Amino acid sequence: MKIILNSTDKKALELRHSKTRDVRESDRIKAVLLSSEGWSVSQISQALRKHETTILRHLTDFQKTQKLKPENGGSQSHLNLEQTNELIHHLLDVTYVHVHQIVAYVRSTYEIQYSVSGMTQWLHQNGFSYKQPKGVPHKFDPEKQAQFIEDYKRLKAELAEDETLLFIDAVHPTQATKITSGWIKTGVDKSIETTGSRTRLNIIGAIRLGHLSEAVTDQYETVNSASIVDFFEQIKARYASSSCINIILDGAGYHRSDQVVNKAEELNIKLHYLPPYSPNLNPIERLWKVMNEQVRNNQYFATAKAFRHQIKYFFDDILPEIAASLDDRINDNFQVLNPAS
């Protein structure tokens, strides 16, 4: 038996072969292509390490019905259109960690049995991939966030030349080793020393977008109204020539205390509060992430002194050097969140 293919059909099969994830479908396509190139059933059988009767059946199936997908093992969907749509909507609501859990759900719901490999293929065919979900603060208010963005755009547009606009926040890095993903040679289990030390720093920072090299940071024993007042005085000294300093900050209790509000008024600082649960609207959060990437991720600190030195080294030396390269990352292109449900 010999399969006859025109050039268009052959190219289509070669493209399908390059994209298929099913080894059995791949073998069927190879058998058809080799047959069209003049290979005998015996030669194809030897090349693919399959019995001649299997090869003959593959070629016969293709010649009669153009069949290339095997029907066993769950590689071909057993769900009808309605069931498929129901399962897709279910998987949009429920995130399973293991494919065998989805297999069990389909079996109990529809009394249809899939293999793990068959269900994996079904998932790929229906637009699913294995990836990490994105965390969203469960109490954030989309309307308040949208209103803040509009108010921010107006504030930025109306800002006088001698006014300053800053984002401030506190961060609390710990000495405990922060393990993260990285490029590691396949087959190698790379080990990193860890410590569970609870030593932590309390850092308050302020940034002016587009001028990250002039970031203001300081460490405090604790972050409270008194430390915020002290930090405001530092900001006022840094931007003494500004007619007005606008500060965007979250609504933490110490940010709203009478002590802080009165000091801001005294220093001619205007406070603009973020909506609750809105770290995505404060670009300085991205600076903390850069700090972790530069000096904390996968780093072991044997002593608290070494840990403190490394954090200080980031703000004093690394940040001024890389500041210009961070403008396309630390900016006011705010991430707009969608509710998780």
pLDDT along the chain (341 residues), means of 10: 85 88 89 92 89 87 81 58 89 88 90 88 89 72 92 96 97 91 76 86 97 96 97 97 97 96 97 93 96 93 95 96 94 82 61
**What does the pLDDT read at residue 132?**
76
**What does the pLDDT read at residue 71?**
61
**What does the pLDDT read at residue 189?**
79
Please give the biggest Cα pair distance in the chain: 94
**What does the pLDDT read at residue 135?**
66
**What does the pLDDT read at residue 341?**
61
First to last CA, the chain: 57
**Is the pTM above the cut of 0.75?**
no
Residue 2: HSE in the Cβ half-sphere, 13 Å Cα cutoff: 7
Q: Of 134, 133, 137, which Cα lies nearest the Cα of 278?
A: 137
- On whether the CB atoms of residues 140 and 337 are closer than 8 A, the answer is yes
Q: Are strands 202-207 and 216-220 parallel, antiparallel or unpaired?
A: antiparallel
C-alpha torsion 69→73→76→79, nearest 10: 170
Q: Of 335, 232, 235, 328, which Cα lies nearest the Cα of 282?
A: 335
Dist. CA 288–CA 313, nearest whole Å: 14
**What does the pLDDT read at residue 75?**
40
- On whether the CB atoms of residues 204 and 314 are closer than 8 A, the answer is no
The residue count for the chain: 341
